[in-house]
Copies of this chain bind each other. A is one copy, B any other.
Amino acid sequence: MPSTIPDIVISRLPVYLRALERLSQEGQDVTSSHELGKRLGISSAQIRKDLSHFGGFGKQGTGYKIAFLKDQLRQVLKVEREWEVALVGAGDLGSAVARYRGFAERGFHIAYVFDSAPEKVGKRIDHFVIQPVEDIRKIISENGIKLAMIAVPAENAQQVADQLIAAGVRAILNYAPINLNVPDNVHVQYIDPVVHLQRMTYYLT
């Protein structure tokens, strides 16, 4: 797989995959770039161009076989397998993340939950026993965990990120409302709903 595919293309593939999964659930077997585009608010030309980076999954005029395209996208995104994820932070936000079933349903298995508060360590959220942050390095590296989610207060997030990266984590989903400084070989994505709301209020009158 060429590594020169623009990140903006990669960023759209999970959205295509999600739409295809939805179409499957609705009982559909075949779709077109036109139908996908209409669902997603993306031009059909853009979708065809994005998919052509990976060799093209459909023929002009006959549409895409959904099951095949889903499999191909899963392989490209490396989500045909299950991923173990570490979660740091077992406060309100971290607990909600730990309980969210959407991760496991779509192949991301929260394997470990860490917190720094002594009164939380050893307790459970759902079936997770909360581990002390001091054990991050040992547990993450011994188990080869590459993905982590951070749900700690902003002031602690960078330090937690540093520990995770030292232990071998290479992709971080950060719920703390702060930007992280990470080496070039580590990927970070952010979830901050307030940023999304503020981006929309600009347009409100």
Chain A residues engaging chain B, CB cutoff 8 angstroms:
10-11, 13-15, 17-19, 22, 38-41, 76-79, 83, 85, 92-93, 96-97, 99-103, 106, 108, 146-147, 149, 154, 170-171, 173, 177-179, 181, 187, 189-204
Contacting A179 at CB < 8 Å: which of B13, B15, B100, B171? B15
Least CB distance from A94 to B in Å reads 10
Residues of B within 8 A of A200 (CB): 147, 171, 173, 187, 189
B173 and A196 contact, CB distance less than 8 A: yes
Nearest chain-B residue to A17 (Cβ)? Answer: B198
Contacting A100 at CB < 8 Å: which of B13, B92, B196, B204? B92
Residues of B within 8 A of A196 (CB): 14, 173, 189-191
A78 and B195 contact, CB distance less than 8 A: no
Known: A199-B13, A203-B187. A18 touches B173 (CB 8 A): no
Cα–Cα distance between A14 and B83 once the two chains are bound (Å): 31
Residues of B within 8 A of A40 (CB): 179
Residues of B within 8 A of A192 (CB): 18
A41 and B179 contact, CB distance less than 8 A: yes
Nearest chain-B residue to A172 (Cβ)? Answer: B200
Residues of B within 8 A of A146 (CB): 204
B179 and A19 contact, CB distance less than 8 A: yes
Cα–Cα distance between A199 and B106 once the two chains are bound (Å): 13
B93 and A100 contact, CB distance less than 8 A: yes
A78 and B179 contact, CB distance less than 8 A: no
Least CB distance from A81 to B in Å reads 9
Residues of B within 8 A of A147 (CB): 197, 200-201, 204
Known: A93-B100, A194-B103, A195-B14. A204 touches B79 (CB 8 A): no
Known: A178-B18, A194-B14. A76 touches B202 (CB 8 A): yes
Nearest chain-B residue to A187 (Cβ)? Answer: B200
Least CB distance from A158 to B in Å reads 10
B10 and A171 contact, CB distance less than 8 A: no
